[in-house]
Amino acid sequence: MFIQKIDKQTLLKPLQIVNGIVERKQTMPILSNVLIEAKQGGLHFTASDMEIQISTSVTLDDHVLPDAAITLGGKKLQDILRILPEQSSISIDLAESKALVKANKSRFSLQTLPAEDFPLLPNQTTQGHKITLSQGQLKTLLHSVQYAMAQQDVRYYLNGLLLVVDGNQLKAIATDGHRLAYNATTLASEHEKQDIIVPRKTILELYKLLNENEEIVSIEFSEQQIRFVFSDTTLISKVIDGRFPDYQRVIPKYHNQLPLNRLQLQQALQRVAILSNEKFRGVRLVLTENNLSVISSNSEQEEAQEDIDTHYDGNALDIGFNVNYLMDGLNNMSGENTIFSFGDMNSSVLLTSVEQENFRYVVMPMRL
C-alpha cells in the first residue's frame, strides 16, 4: 500500500499547485506525470517541463507511510480526485507498473513510470543572490506589469519579465515592443545591483501560486536559474540568456501632462472600442481646449465618440492607439487618478498613477 485512506483534499490541493506546468502530451511521456514521494512524514509532489519545476509538500500528522516514490499522470489523477465526492477517502495501491486508486466504490487503474527516471532540475542558485519580500508585495508587482510581456516573439528576450534588484528596490519591467510596463517595490535591506530575465510561463505560473498576504517569499537567483520559495512550495526556473532593452531610455519625460479620472477614461474606451476596427483595434484621442474626445471607426463606416471634460489649454493633439494596450495599462494600475503625459502625434504616451508612485506605462502610437 502506497497511500492508505487519505482525505481527498490532502491529495488534490498539492496536485493543483504543481499541475499548472504539466502538459498532457509531451515528447517525454514522464513529463506528463507528477512525481509523488512518501518520505519524512509527508507527501512530496513535483512536476517539471525541463524548464520549470514546481515542488510542494503536505505533512501527514496521523499517517505513517513507508518511504516510496511513484510517477502518475498528473492531469488524470487531478481530474479523478476533483470529480469524487467531497468527503472521499483515497487509497493508492502499487502493483508492477500500475497504481490502483480507490475511493468509496470507485476504482481507477493508472499507468506509472519509474520515479528514478523523473528528470529533476539541479539547484544552481546555492551560490547566487537572495532577497526576501512578502507574497502580497511580489504579487502586486507582477500584476502591474506582466500583461506587457511578449508572446512567442522572435526577440526571445522579450518573452519574459526583467527583474532588477537595485539597492533597496526590486523593479519589474515587461515589453513587447509596442508598450512597456514598469513598477518597483521596496525591499527591507540593500542589495548590489543584479538583473535577470524570467520566462513568461514562469511568471504566469508564479502569479497564480502567490497569495495576497504578508508571508515571506524568498528569491534566489544565479546566471542560469531563479528559485522562489514560499509557503510549502518551491518553484525553480531556467532564465532567459539575452540583453533586455534599455527601459530607462524608453520611459519618456514630458512636460505636457493631463490629469484624468482613471475609471472615466476606462469606461469611455470600453464603449468606443465596440465600434473599433476588429483587426487593428484603433482609437483616436483628440485633445482640444478643455476636452478629450475618444473616437473609433471601422470598415463598415460606423463611428463612436465620447467626450471627457478636462482642464487642458495647450496645443491640439490627435493621436491613435491600440485600444487594448491603453486598457491593459488602466486595468492593471491602482487608484482613481491617472496622468496622461505626451509629446506630439508621433511620440509615445506615458501613463502614470497618482496613487502608485513607481508605476510607469508607455504606449507607442499607431497610424489610423
Residue 8, pLDDT > 80, answer yes
Q: Let me know whether 160 and 96 are in one domain.
A: no
pLDDT of residue 161: 98
Q: Residue 199: what residue type?
A: P
Q: To which H or E segment does residue 98 belong? A: strand 98-103
Specify the 3-state DSSP secondary structure of 115.
helix
Q: Let me know whether 289 and 322 are in one domain.
A: yes
Section 144-152 average pLDDT: 97
**Domain ends where: 59, 93, 117?**
117
CATH of residue 234's domain is: 3.10.150.10
Which is it for the CA torsion 277, 278, 280, 283, positive or negative?
positive
**Domain ends where: 226, 249, 272?**
249
Specify the 3-state DSSP secondary structure of 277.
coil
Please say whether the beta carbons of 144 and 359 come within 8 A.
yes
Residue 296 CA, chain-centre distance (Å), reads 31
Section 310-331 average pLDDT: 95
Residue 194, pLDDT > 70, answer yes
pTM score: 0.93
Q: How far apart are CA 298 and CA 236, in angstroms?
A: 46
pLDDT tens per residue, range 197-244: 999 999 999 999 999 999 999 999 999 999 999 999 999 999 999 999
Closest residue by Cα to residue 57 from 15, 9, 26, 5: 15
Domain count, the chain: 3
CA contacts within 13 A on the Cβ side of 104? 10
Q: Let me know whether 166 and 81 are in one domain.
A: no
Q: Let me know whether 59 and 138 are in one domain.
A: no
Classify residue 368: in a domain, yes or no.
no
Closest residue by Cα to residue 181 from 283, 323, 280, 327: 327
Taking the chain, what is the end-to-end CA distance rounded to the nearest angstrom?
68
Q: Let me know whether 207 and 298 are in one domain.
A: no
Range of the domain at 85: 3-117
Classify residue 70: in a domain, yes or no.
yes
Please say whether the beta carbons of 108 and 72 come within 8 A.
no
Please name the residue ranges forming H helices in the chain.
8-18, 74-83, 135-143, 200-209, 247-250, 262-273, 323-332
Q: Let me know whether 222 and 309 are in one domain.
A: no
Burial class (CB in 10 A: 0-12, 13-18, 19+), 205: buried
Q: Let me know whether 15 and 29 are in one domain.
A: yes
Closest residue by Cα to residue 60 from 17, 93, 90, 103: 90
Classify residue 173: in a domain, yes or no.
yes
Q: Let me know whether 161 and 244 are in one domain.
A: yes
**Domain ends where: 191, 219, 249?**
249
Q: How far apart are CA 35 and CA 343, in angstroms?
A: 55
pLDDT tens per residue, range 101-136: 999 999 999 999 999 999 999 988 877 789 999 999
Q: Residue 292: what residue type?
A: L
Specify the 3-state DSSP secondary structure of 244.
coil
Mean pLDDT computed over every residue of the chain = 94
Which residues have C-beta within 8 Å of that of residue 79, sequence separation ≥ 6?
none
Q: How far apart are CA 164 and CA 52, in angstroms?
A: 20
Classify residue 123: in a domain, yes or no.
no
In the beta sheet, which residues pair with residue 308?
292
Classify residue 10: in a domain, yes or no.
yes
Please say whether the beta carbons of 52 and 119 come within 8 A.
no
Q: Let me know whether 275 and 358 are in one domain.
A: yes
Q: How far apart are CA 237 and CA 163, in angstroms?
A: 14
Classify residue 155: in a domain, yes or no.
yes
The more confident residue out of 305 and 3 is 305
pLDDT cut 90: percent of the chain above it: 86
Q: Let me know whether 199 and 257 are in one domain.
A: no
Q: Let me know whether 164 and 210 are in one domain.
A: yes
pLDDT of residue 64: 60
Classify residue 143: in a domain, yes or no.
yes
pLDDT of residue 115: 95
pLDDT tens per residue, range 25-65: 778 999 999 999 998 888 999 999 999 999 999 988 766 67
pLDDT of residue 245: 95
Q: Let me know whether 194 and 286 are in one domain.
A: no
Residue 18, CA distances (Å) to 101, 154, 205, 304 in order: 19, 29, 9, 46
pLDDT of residue 63: 66
Classify residue 124: in a domain, yes or no.
no
